[in-house]
Amino acid sequence: MTTRLETTPARAILRRHCTGLSMAELAVVLGMVAITSSLAAPGLHRIVQGQELRVAAADLYSAVQLTRSMAIARNEPVILTSNDAAGIDWSRGWTVYVDRDNNRQAGAGDDILAVRATLPQGVQVSYSFASPAAPQYIAYNGAGRSCSTTSSAAARPGTLSLFHGGGIRRIKINMLGRPRLCNPARDAGCDGVAAPP
């Protein structure tokens, strides 16, 4: 006796759905993916820039706090300067150190406490302190007050401003030397220099 398999409607439907995509259907799907990606890319880029700015500002704020706490712990002046040879470009990173040779530059004879490498591409830092002359620096005396390198009694309040992708973060140092990290978009008293063009 011979058994004959009959094709049922369910098998025919299953066979039709497993055949794959046509070239036209694939082109439509790939086009939709390309359009969605191009619409999402600028928003993603802004998110990345915002995160880079927040991290850079937090790192610089931590360096200012470290400078102050090490000055108190050691009971001697500790300095924070940019790694730029001219002493003005903070986007090249910074160094926290005890300036043994009194030249306001981290060198071989100094006690190097921390070093930060270059900031992400596009992050800019502006410096606005009582004495804007190069090399720019932030110094703390043994009492934890911001000071001049020539006089530990001369207070040096000021502001470091970080800019990236339209975002701004500021580190404000008051007369007592206390640093504060703020966002001018939502924090009162977070004024400073305008963003560079």
CATH number of the domain located at residue range(s) 53-182 in this protein: 3.55.40.10
**In this structure, are residues 67 and 78 in contact, taking their beta carbons and an 8 Å threshold?**
yes
* pLDDT digit string, tens, across residues 7-41: 555 555 555 555 666 778 778 888 888 787 777 66
**According to the model, what pLDDT value does residue 17 have?**
56
d(CA 156, CA 77): 13
**According to the model, what pLDDT value does residue 83 have?**
92
Token output for 12:
């025919």
Nearest to 90 by CA among 68, 113, 61: 61
d(CA 151, CA 4): 105
pLDDT at 147 over 70: yes
Token output for 125:
């830092």
pTM: 0.77
Peptide bond into 42 cis (omega under 30): no
Q: Could you count the other beta carbons within 10 Å of the beta carbon of residue 57?
A: 25
